[in-house]
Amino acid sequence: MPETWHSEPKNKASRMLIEALQIIGLILFSSLKFFLAPSTVYLSGYSYFETIAITIVGGALGVFVFFYTGSAIFKYIGDRFSRGRIKSPFNRKNRLIIKVKSSWGLIGLSIITPTLLSIPLGCLLASRYFRNDRRTIPFLMGSVVFWSIVLTTLTALVGPLFD
């Protein structure tokens, strides 16, 4: 258990509650700011494997929440506002979207989502353009696991240099 409190709680239940709240906070942080989460968790005193576990759980939570929330929002908007309106298939916006989708695709979006894009933004884009692709959630989850291991390993190697 990392020692981050200046005054030690009196009983075991208080210590366990504080530890549980700290882990919940780090999981929520991982679901929103994944790029910074492994270094934050590791430098908070958690072990290498605990850091990987906390960041994977947080990233997975973020992927599920933001992908399915985005899917529901885009479905609602599509159902609500596209009745009776004929969309022009060839305009500048559609051409740009098709170009990005064909050049980057789901794999490219999955690779950059936890790091360069945030999990909320990447999952909203994935739910907008790849909502019906069965590979979307597994690719996003695989990316979270991959980047969690890579960023935690980098932090474990570089972190002690700053002590």
Q: Note whether residue 124 is domain-resident.
A: yes
Q: Note whether residue 141 is domain-resident.
A: yes
Q: Note whether residue 8 is domain-resident.
A: no
Q: How many structural domains comprise the chain?
A: 1
- Per-residue pLDDT at 94: 63
Q: Note whether residue 5 is domain-resident.
A: no
Rounded to an integer, what distance in angstroms lies between the CA atom of residue 40 and that of residue 45? Answer: 9
- Per-residue pLDDT at 86: 60
The torsion region of residue 132 among left (phi > 0), alpha (psi -120 to 50) and beta comes to alpha
Roughly what angle, to the nearest 10 degrees, separates helices 119-129 and 48-81? 40
The mean pLDDT of the chain is 84
Q: Over 90: is that where the pLDDT of 113 sits?
A: no
For the chain, percent of residues with pLDDT exceeding 90: 44
- Per-residue pLDDT at 151: 95
Nearest residue to 137 (alpha-carbon basis) of 118, 117, 109 = 109
Rounded to an integer, what distance in angstroms lies between the CA atom of residue 129 and that of residue 116? Answer: 18
Q: Note whether residue 32 is domain-resident.
A: yes
Tens of pLDDT, residue by residue over 88-105, are 666 665 665 666 677 888
For residue 137, give both structure tokens.
């959630």
Rounded to an integer, what distance in angstroms lies between the CA atom of residue 132 and that of residue 147? Answer: 25
Q: Note whether residue 1 is domain-resident.
A: no
pTM score, two decimals?
0.80
Tens of pLDDT, residue by residue over 38-92, are 999 998 999 999 999 999 999 999 999 999 998 888 777 776 666 656 666 666 6
User: Residue 38's domain spans which residues?
Assistant: 14-162
Q: Note whether residue 30 is domain-resident.
A: yes
Q: Note whether residue 6 is domain-resident.
A: no
Our CA angle for 76, 80, 83, nearest 5°, is 135
